[in-house]
Amino acid sequence: MIVRLGTKADAPAAARLHAEQIGEGFLSSLGLRFLNVLYRRIVSWPRSFLLVADEGGAVVGQAAATEHVGGLYRQFLLRDGVVAAAVAFPRLLRRWRSVVETLRYPAGDGDLPPAELLAVAVDAERRGQGIGRALVLAANEELTRRGVPNARVVVAATNAPALALYLSSGFRPAATVQLHADTRSEVLTWS
């Protein structure tokens, strides 16, 4: 298994892993087609990146990160907003409050770093083999290589495995937030 930078060709596999393995997230509720559009933007915007755990040509894990979450959201809305809205329209209507909360999120982050580890997902059959940890450490290394001194990750407060992974990878608790009205999340930072 190798960890490498992802390309546009890897975006569908990353989106699939996100949809299958990150069930508690709002973005997952918007569907695979929406996530495909999002991951193509992550790969395309120079201030964001995708890492994939590649095993013989198969993507078995992914990590997405950005140097500036607000900037990524703006790029996504400006360049992909119409397509993303079209592919997720019924879901967006049902979850309109979550859409507003998500769009407000980067603006309400106070003293937290603008860089963010957006998502980490590992194929269910490959969990417990160190792939998630390798992806998180590689994301931290890539951010450092890009001159980013610190980053955050937001995780549901009830997601004990993810919290343990981030804490063991150098992240420290920074805040508890209510990003969505029905979900308490922990914000951890790394520097």
Q: Please write the tens of the pLDDT for every residue from 16-50.
A: 999 999 977 778 888 999 999 999 999 999 999 99
Distance separating alpha carbons of residues 16 and 6, to the nearest angstrom: 14
Residue 168: pLDDT over 60: yes
pLDDT at 111: 83
CA–chain centroid gap for 112, Å, is 16
CATH class of the region 2-190:
alpha beta
Strands (E), the chain: 2-5, 48-55, 58-66, 116-122, 151-156, 172-180, 183-190
Distance separating alpha carbons of residues 69 and 38, to the nearest angstrom: 13
Distance separating alpha carbons of residues 76 and 47, to the nearest angstrom: 12
- β-pairing verdict for 151-156 and 116-122: parallel
Determine if residue 11 is left, alpha or beta; phi over 0 gives left, psi from -120 to 50 gives alpha, anything else beta: alpha
Sorting pLDDT into bands at 50, 70 and 90, what band is 82?
A: very high
Domain ranges of the chain: 2-190
H helix or E strand, kind and range, residue 122: strand 116-122
pLDDT at 7: 98
